[in-house]
Structure 1
């Protein structure tokens, strides 16, 4: 077992070896990188910092399921509003139903997440995980998110935790970079975010302020 003030080794940027140990998660859903298909139309990855090792993308059936659920909700609303199925003769209702179902179908396709040994990408935005300068936990509507910024000025403004943590192998790579960034002393992370991510108290500068969590997590 590693010493709490000594993060695991940095993986090779090309091979990703040695893989980091399993990182703590608050997300219980688990999806792994697909081994039987290539990703569909992914955004361009970062260049010159190593290949993609893990990725996560909703399958097409999930997109159709989201669109069908949206259509069902709108159809139910129309039925209640009209007091029956008269709405099926209203082209305006059909236009709304088709439009929002298409928007949700397209939106589900955009949930692209990928990681290399030293970087992570959300949609088309990416950061260098070993040179993070700011990490914050926040809420974006109903979603719990991380806001990440690195020393190069790259930023992921709203990274859904449910997305990034649902692939354990991907999250392991990202979390190891987070640990090293905090250990460097150059990363701004508050006590709340440390507590939620279960960052060892002994790692990096001590959190400050009245609400600083001084529990030893590891």
Structure 2
């Protein structure tokens, strides 16, 4: 995986003992990763008392985790959020309404989706 490491951020998810890391254009959780600048779908769902972020990139790579775990590390979240904004603006990624509301994406979504 030849990805840029500039501006990367790394931390351990205590609950699952999985490493989460992000670089300029990628997010990795354990052995799964997505290209955050080439996202095809961005979806927020609800779990038991928490929100989950589900990301799928243009190559079909999928990753999902609790939003809280990403936002726990500000530098990591900034990298992921920038990729999300880029994917919406330039790649016209599909975004569900819950993602628009929970991730405060109203400024980049001109016509918010009506479904979940």
Does the 8 A contact of 1:113 with 1:163 survive in 2?
Answer: no
Q: CA deviation at 1:122?
A: 1.4
Deviation of 1:186 (Å):
2.4
Higher helix share: 1
- Structure 1 segments of 4+ aligned residues over 4 angstroms from their partners: none
Q: Deviations over 1:41-68 (max 9, x none)?
A: xxxxxx112127100115xxxx6xxxxx
The Cα RMSD (Å) is 2.2
- Between the two proteins, the alignment pairs up a number of residues equal to 115
Q: State how far apart, in whole Å, the 2-side matches of 1:200 and 1:141 are.
A: 25
Gaps of 5+ in 2: none
TM-score normalized by structure 2? 0.86
Alpha-carbon contact 2:38-2:91 (below 8 Å) kept: no
1:140-185 per-residue CA deviation (whole Å, 9 max, x = no partner) reads 44442100000011110x3111211100011001100100111125
Partner residue of 1:155? 62
**Among 11, 22, 34, which residue is 1:56 paired with?**
11
Q: Distance in 2 between matches of 1:192 and 1:109?
A: 28
| TM-score, L = length of structure 1 | 0.48
State the distance in 2 between where 1:183 and 1:193 align.
15
Q: How does 1:120-199 map to 2 (within 5 A)?
A: 120-156=27-63, 158-199=64-105
Deviation at 1:204, TM superposition (A): 4.5
**Greater radius of gyration (CA):** 1
